[in-house]
Amino acid sequence: MELRRRLRLLSVTVAATPLVLVGCTADHLPGVRQANAAPPQLTVTPGDRSRDVPISAEVGTAVTGGKITAVRLTDDKGAQVPAEPREDGSSWVPTRPLQNSRTYTAEVTATGDRGRTTTRKTTFTTMARSDKPTITSVLNVDGNQTYGTAMPVVVTFDPPIPKEARADVQRRLFVKTDPPQPGTWSWVADGKQVEYRAPDFWKPGTRISVRSALEGLPIGKDAFGDVDRAASAKVGRQVSLDIDNATKQMSVYRDGKLLRKIPVSLGKPSTPTSSGSMVIMQKFEYTTFDTRGDPMGGYVVDVEDAQRLTNGGEFIHAAPWSEGDQGNTNVSHGCTNVSNANADWLMGITQVGDLVTVKGTEVTLDQGNGWTAWNVGWDEFAKGSALPVPAGLKPTVTATPHPGVEAGGSAPAPARSRSGG
């Protein structure tokens, strides 16, 4: 009797055990985890019913426990406004400026890892057109053009951007490249100019898309950005010019191969040429130099095949009057003089955005006197950013004998660099 009673108790215990196990693992059954999982937490800006919102507004999104899976922005007529996400996912940026005194609705959905969703909707009204002054901006990239591999993206401002406003402005400057080749913006000290480049030269064939999305952006307390500008361009072959004052020679390279050596006459001691790394900014078959406002004394002269290197007026150009001095004596007002034949040949070889390096002259190039992004090394350039620069963004090549040796290679050590005729 006692033995049979113990066996019955044992069988009851064994039979009950699977029921306990099933109870412990019930959350693995379909639908149970989803029912118990918390939905993602989502915050959207501008806040609901916000008024006087700048037309540069973005749809800000902050999510915990999930990711943004849908954003829809519509105006007060029901039309959808296209927008693109920032790389860090912090906001969605309308692809064109919003309009003044209009109402917009943003509907954002976030989805958690277990499939639960949260949707937030916010409606806001933009500010009326302001009578505050605008800051003029100029973008150096034109659409459907082909540029050299050293072409920086440059935005200039009038009046200059104060330090405290530079981060906000920089966040509204966008560059995309195909293939991807990330870089950073760097401000010239006076705030008149900000330049963008990658650690290495652009690879030939790269497509560059730029947007300076500044229209309606509050800049400081008393001004707004002027115009939203955008352009797409292509990078062409690699061409670079090396000018050595010691030899009075220009070496012209294409894709790392020396094409020609050209005798030059640089700036005389009273008006020396700048030493440094600069970029061809403009090309003119014919132009007129008029320096009559120069306190050092001015002149007016017509020139052919002129290529601008600095804002201050340094060019490479044809100078038949100095052909006897080219290769041995500096007689110019700061420009690089070459013969008619060589100037004509250069115009067919170079592109806006090609690197020109001058060394051995009496003065150095001032940052911001032209497109000077390559006149300093990468570490120094990155220090000029008003926003954090990714730590891993570095040149792939630490020392290149010449920028034309490898397409897409890094810059040589910058020379230390100055205007003319």
Count, residues in the chain: 421
Q: Is residue 313 within 8 Å of residue 267, measured between CB atoms?
A: no
Rounded Cα gap, residues 52 and 281, in angstroms: 40
Q: Is residue 171 within 8 Å of residue 150, measured between CB atoms?
A: no
Greatest distance between any 2 Cα atoms in the chain:
130
Phi, then psi, of 340 in degrees rounded to 5: -55, -45
Q: How many CB atoms lie within 10 A of CB 47?
A: 12
Q: Is the previous residue joined to 179 through a cis bond, with omega within 30 degrees of 0?
A: yes
Spot the catalytic one: 24, 28, 335, 402. Answer: 335
Spot the catalytic one: 24, 317, 333, 402. Answer: 317
Sheet holding 355-359, edge to edge: 257-263, 249-254, 239-244, 355-359, 274-279, 363-364
Q: Is residue 193 within 8 Å of residue 154, measured between CB atoms?
A: yes
335 classed as catalytic: yes
16 three-state secondary structure: helix
Phi, then psi, of 229 in degrees rounded to 5: -120, 145
Helices (H), 334-407: 340-349, 378-382
Which two structure tokens, joined as six digits, stand for 415? 């020379």
Rounded Cα gap, residues 420 and 355, in angstroms: 19
Rounded Cα gap, residues 155 and 139, in angstroms: 5
Q: Is residue 367 within 8 Å of residue 375, measured between CB atoms?
A: yes
C-alpha dist (Å) from residue 244 to 142, 241, 283: 32, 10, 22
Rounded Cα gap, residues 354 and 279, in angstroms: 6
317 classed as catalytic: yes
∠ CA 286-290-293, rounded to 5°: 165
Rounded Cα gap, residues 303 and 288, in angstroms: 6
Q: Is residue 101 within 8 Å of residue 125, measured between CB atoms?
A: yes
DSSP β-ladder status, 336-338 and 315-318: parallel
Q: Is residue 147 within 8 Å of residue 192, measured between CB atoms?
A: no
Which residues are catalytic, by number? 317, 335
